[in-house]
Amino acid sequence: MIASELSNTANSVVTPTPISATRGSAAIGTVRERGMPLLSAHPIVTPATPDSPSSQVRLFTFRGATAARMALPGPVGPLVAGRPHPRSVRPVRTDELTTPALIVDRSVLEANLDTMSAALPGPRLRPHVKAHKTTALARRQHANGHTGFTCATVRECEVMAAAGLGADLLLANEVLDARRLGALVRDGARVTVAVDSAETVAAAVSGGVREVLVDVDVGQRRCGCAPEDAGALAAAARAAGLVVRGVMGYEGHLQGVVDAADRARRTAEPWHC
């Protein structure tokens, strides 16, 4: 991600210690039971005891489904779309969990958070919500000084805003219907959306989003305007009444380049669509 004002996670800046997960876990930060993604505002934590050494993981019933909450420190708070009934919460051992289920080593998690914050402090790091899809982890990143977040979907923006983490949200994708984003703006969240065409500029205007980033194709060939068209698109967005916060690009095609010097060289190479 390249931006004149906004910044996203930098690829391969550091290599944190991996978080361990039970066999079958599909994604870091996502626990699924009957197809339901876990998006929690706070974890529920039970101290381990001699009789229940793994009891820092609890289960709760959420809209009729059961999911595993991650073992993170912090107060019990409201969920995004409801509260667990007290009778639905009970301590469980890890061998009772239905996989895929994420098991977090708290010390490793804290080390990872601190390592990333040291490498890219404060606003230099804009964590991507899709990496963990858990507002509990987003709160920890926020506490480390990273108050802006990147989202991949409109729904992620809505969940983050509902959790009180909507001070500066970037939807790093283009949409042709921005009305749900506009509703978040009217409710007090700050939302910036990516634009790469006249159509996406018009969608931002009609949807009620007032801040945009011009998305430039830097070699991924997925979305974004041609580099030579970025200036004209920015001017068109301003003429339509939008605030252009900067430009962005995603060098996803270079993620697999292992050598840091080679990756830096190829990232800096001019690209023409």
**215, 6 Cβ separation under 8 angstroms:** no
Sign of CA dihedral 128, 130, 131, 135: positive
pLDDT of residue 39 exceeding 70, the answer is: no
- Give the Cβ contact number of residue 104 at 10 Å: 21
**What mean pLDDT is predicted for residues 11-21?**
31
How many CB atoms neighbour CB 48 within 10 A?
A: 14
Whether 152 contacts 173, CB under 8 Å: yes
Residue 202: partners with Cβ closer than 8 Å, 6 or more residues away: 240
Q: Domains plus CATH for the chain?
A: 25-104 (no CATH), 106-268 (3.20.20.10)
For the entire predicted model, the pTM comes to 0.66
- How many Å apart are CA 147 and CA 136, to the nearest integer? 14
In DSSP terms, which residues pair with 82 in a beta bridge?
Answer: 79
What was the pLDDT predicted at 88?
Answer: 57
Q: What digits encode the pLDDT tens for the residues 108-138?
A: 999 999 999 999 999 999 999 999 999 999 9
pLDDT band at 56 (very low <50, low <70, confident <90, very high): very low
Please, which pLDDT band fits residue 65 given cuts at 50, 70 and 90? very low
| Token pair for 25 | 């876990």
